[in-house]
A and B are shown apart, each in its own frame.
Chain A
């Protein structure tokens, strides 16, 4: 089940003059500092980021957390796009769409070939071309120990997981990660969907409420608390 985001407020708000370098909203990075600490901060080794459905800002949060690892803690970070059913990272970050995770899973390329640098200390592994069997590509990558191998090269590995609902293996994949962040977009996802997706994950993940905003004027917020 996919929903259309109510507002395209992303980590990425533009590119520089040559159209190559993505710009990250400073406000977004500032907003993600506290959640970054909550999921491990400078000690974080591995983090899966998931959500109930598409469009909850999962990828944006994952990217911001990866950038913060480098920027705030001086650590190296890699962002892995495991949402192979609907890959979007390459397009959003102006990266090559392949080779990526799927190609590496089928042993078509080496790990070095799939890692694309984003900025100093931050690399990205895009989904690549999953072909007809995206689930198999994911299981192959896990079987071949992708996360472990990346963990040896980077201080932190952040995985952009598919949403729990709507993807048959979404919950199963999320349960593979001990450190899991469950993103809920404010004002978008129905409460029942959030509850159902949250209950489908065996180990209760950490929850992040994304894109909160109040339409109330300040005086009214103060008045009604």
Chain B
């Protein structure tokens, strides 16, 4: 019964029910057309296996670097630096979506510095996509409304990442060198003390033999231990110094920029956006239309069918008179009622 009433309501008010659907689709199409065209720029970075930490050998360099890039983007300072270097911070890039459209229609008050930075970070998050392509290649894709900015952001992102990553590793290597240097220094001090103790003891006890004197044996063992410690640590220090020196060499960072992003010369195709936008509009419109249909049906408490009247009053109607359309019959004051179309007498 509800189905019939819903269908009747629909056919009774087709424009009212379909209106929201049409309106929603048209509005979404209009908003899509108001959206500025988007430009896509791609920068390609290659990461060598040497860029991996010892614990990351089971993963591909591209996966690790892509994760690191995304982690860096999650911070505040990294996207802000990218925004600054790319010129995004200085640019007045319109916000994407409906907010951007509203902003163009009703300009709002200028942002404070922190708000401006927040917008820039959001724009960076919205614009950048990082993909691991193959085992060692990473694509940094940037989509914005400004072609120069798109290329600028992609390149700034890539270089900033390499710079940050190399800087971090340099710091780690330097810390390692400093640590080993400290260790060597301590071990040399310990050796010096051990040698002095041994010399002092031998000078104080000239007649003692090693085999019989346990103190002498202990002092000699301490000196040997100190020497061996230094011998073990020195290669590590040398290796750390070597690694540190390698990192400082520009061609030894492990990162290679395969393709710098170039300024795109034509905007992206809109077919997908239009399809998605119209689809979303249609879905929203359908929901609203269904709601309107339901509300109209529920709100209409009138009796429409014989069965409904019978159920309402508990009595079967004596008759049903359908809504008539004009096939008029002339009722004459003087004569019999006859079938008489209106047009016939004219």
- A residues near B (Cβ < 8 Å) are 7, 9, 13-14, 16-17, 20-29, 31-32, 34-35, 38-39, 57, 61, 67, 70-71, 117-120, 122, 181, 184, 186-192, 194-195, 198, 204, 206-217, 220, 224-225
Contact = CB atoms under 8 A, between A and B. Distances in A.
Contact of B332 (A119, A209, A215): A119
Contact of B317 (A117, A187, A209): A209
B280 interface: no
B334 interface: yes
B4 interface: yes
Interface stretch (B101-109, B184-192, B323-331): B323-331
A7 B328 contact: no
B203 interface: no
B302 A191 contact: yes
Contact of B304 (A35, A67, A118, A187): A187
- Nearest first, the 3 closest Cβ-Cβ pairs linking A and B are A35-B319, A215-B11, A38-B318
A184 B318 CA distance: 11
5 contacts: A23-B331, A23-B340, A31-B321, A209-B320, A210-B321
B271 interface: no
Interface centre among B324, B326, B335 (most CB of A within 10 A): B324
Nearest to A30: B324
Contacts of B328: 13-14, 23-26
A26 B304 contact: no
B303 interface: yes
B309 interface: yes
B7 A224 contact: yes
Contacts of A189: 302-303
Nearest to A120: B336
B12 interface: yes
B331 A209 contact: no
A207 B317 CA distance: 5
A159 B318 CA distance: 18
Contacts of A70: 337
Q: Is the interface of A mostly helix, strand, loop or mixed?
A: mixed
Contacts of A213: 322-323
Interface of B: 3-4, 7-8, 11-12, 300-306, 308-309, 312-313, 315, 317-337, 339-340, 342, 345-346
A122 to B, nearest CB: 8
Contact of A24 (B11, B306, B331): B331
Contacts of B304: 186-187, 212
A34 B323 contact: no
Contacts of A29: 329
Contact of B303 (A20, A120, A194): A194
Contacts of A122: 331
Given A120-B336, A217-B11, A224-B3, A194 B313 contact: yes
A157 B182 CA distance: 124
Contact of A204 (B308, B315, B319, B342): B315
B333 A23 contact: no
B337 A71 contact: yes
A209 B304 CA distance: 8
A67 B191 CA distance: 134
A16 B8 CA distance: 36
Nearest to B316: A207
Contacts of A57: 321
Contacts of B334: 120
A118 B340 CA distance: 17
